[in-house]
Structure 1
Amino acid sequence: MAGTLLAPPSGTPLQRLVQMAMERGYTAQGEMFSVADMGRLAQEALGCQAELLCGGLGSPNRDRVLQHLVAGHPLLIPYDEDFNHEPCQRKGHKAHWAVSTGVLLGVQGVPSPGYAEDPELSGLFHPMPGMPCQPPSLPEEDLPGAVYLLCKQGKSWHCQLWDYDQVRDSNMQLTDFSPSRAADGREYVVPAGGVRAGLCGQALLLRPRDPSH
């Protein structure tokens, strides 16, 4: 899903991604419990830049994450998936990946020139294509409900808006391998240090290699 944004319109077939990951020892069943391995796969398969983010989505990384999304680049986030695909906290037992492709910011005033109000939703403003505009001011970190990520999980048909703090908290508690997976008799590739070392508090910032893209 991120590949279609980084190298449109072709993207890279899922089957090819899984094949490459298996050949390089990153996965056995299609699972991916290492953000570092996912970054290496993204760079090779998508020809993009992949920056490994450690220390969680909160401070001091929060502004970098939001500015990355405002610039139009995708973010890959491991998190615990609830029954409705939204973030939850299950200690990593429901660990999955989501791609975030945008952000909704709650701001105090009408944005500067370069933004247009949505024709159907008053109070919602979009950057105007091709128009220079000042990046919006980022809401304070402790302001609840002010930042939402536009995210999609592979098993869902729809994009969803997730509260930033819920995504941050879910990402920070990925510590344990699922007992049901451990008992299912199948092989999985789990990095040294387990789920905590491979996923907890980590994400991937993806950018095109061509800076003019």
Structure 2
Amino acid sequence: MTPAAPVPPQPPPPPSLNSFRTSVQKDNFSVSRIPNDECSWALDYPEVQKGCFLSRVCQYAQPKRCQFYDIPSFLQVGPTCGLTALSMLLNGQPTATELFAEASAQKYTINGEMFSAQYLYELTQKHLNSAGACLFHEGLLDCARIKEQLIGGACLLVPYDADVNHAPCLRSGHRAHWALIVGYLIDDQDKFFVVARHGKTRSLAVWSLVSLSESNANLVEFAQPKGHEGCTFLLPPGGIDGALGLKERSILITALPHKLIRVR
């Protein structure tokens, strides 16, 4: 008797929306993996579409306003997030490596870390020259001044606590990180979001201004960064929550020469 042919294996089930969401930390996330009905208003701006999809922002409704600067993305090497963010703003001239050498000579850093917003502000002032102007901001980010400046075309260098997906979180400063805010978005419910770049990914991120403001205001304690347990880090007088530190500190940059893209 001829044995029955083996039953072919069942094909794998189609991917669910949960499978899309697990890609939040992957730079090779393909925009083609976004369901056709999500964030379709941003089809002509794939980075914005990806950032909004991963953050669940404006999934099915167009934003009232959205704009961002065409600023290059650089990945940081070592704990140089602040210097890398500044180099992005300066279009890579100077590089983060060159800024590190300068900051080290100025006694602002040891390993590339920038636990002082004041020190980074001084570096920013020096290198902007006539390409823009910078203002030091003290206080909460979720305020009229910051919103008005971003709407008017400003960028923002801001320290915050970064979660595992690099979004703002509340870890008392133990995961302190720097980002460059390159634009903003206002959704159909009038909620204000920022468009960000930082040195841990080449992708644009979209975060609520409220969450970024809360994260910036919770920077009160230094914790030895993972992967750098044997390194000595330079803290400003008074610590990261002092007058020269990070808590409720940020840097506004105006009159930029970069191309401004208005999505809406």
Question: Normalised by the size of structure 1, how large is the TM-score?
Answer: 0.72
Q: Distance in 2 between matches of 1:33 and 1:151?
A: 20
Could you list the runs of 4 or more consecutive aligned residues of structure 1 that deviate by over 4 angstroms after TM superposition?
1-5
Is the alpha carbon distance of 1:151 and 1:30 closer, same or farther for their aligned partners in structure 2, counting shifts above 3 Å?
Answer: same
CA contact (8 A) 1:28 1:189 kept: yes
Q: Distance in 1 between matches of 2:87 and 2:247?
A: 23
Q: Distance in 2 between matches of 1:45 and 1:27?
A: 17
Aligned residue number for residue 125 of structure 2: 43
Question: What amino acid does structure 2 have at the position aligned with 1:32?
Answer: M
Aligned residue number for residue 175 of structure 1: 220
CA contact (8 A) 1:73 1:206 kept: yes
Aligned residue number for residue 119 of structure 1: none
Is the alpha carbon distance of 1:89 and 1:152 closer, same or farther for their aligned partners in structure 2, counting shifts above 3 Å?
Answer: same
Name structure 2 gaps, 5 residues minimum.
1-84, 258-264
Query: What SS does the aligned partner of 2:153 have?
Result: coil
Bigger relative contact order, structure 1 or 2 (CA pairs below 8 A, ≥6 apart): 1
Give the structure with higher Rg (CA): 2
Is the alpha carbon distance of 1:156 and 1:29 closer, same or farther for their aligned partners in structure 2, counting shifts above 3 Å?
Answer: same
Aligned residue number for residue 89 of structure 1: 170
Is the alpha carbon distance of 1:71 and 1:4 closer, same or farther for their aligned partners in structure 2, counting shifts above 3 Å?
Answer: farther
CA contact (8 A) 2:153 2:254 kept: no
Aligned residue number for residue 116 of structure 2: 34
Q: How much does 1:201 deviate?
A: 0.8
Is 1:54 the counterpart of 2:170 in the alignment? no
Is 1:156 the counterpart of 2:238 in the alignment? no
Q: How much does 1:180 deviate?
A: 5.5
CA contact (8 A) 2:173 2:219 kept: yes
Show the 5 A alignment for 1:1-213: 1-2=85-86, 5=89, 11-47=93-129, 48-58=132-142, 62-106=143-187, 139=190, 146-179=191-224, 184-197=229-242, 198-208=245-255
Aligned residue number for residue 112 of structure 1: none
1:19-54 Cα distance to aligned partner (Å, 9 max, x none): 111111111000001111110011112324221111
Identity, % of aligned positions: 31
CA contact (8 A) 1:4 1:12 kept: no
Q: How much does 1:11 deviate?
A: 3.4
Name structure 1 gaps, 5 residues minimum.
109-138, 140-145
CA contact (8 A) 1:3 1:46 kept: no
Q: How much does 1:2 deviate?
A: 5.0
Question: What amino acid does structure 2 have at the position aligned with 1:57?
Answer: L
Q: Distance in 2 between matches of 1:209 and 1:73?
A: 7
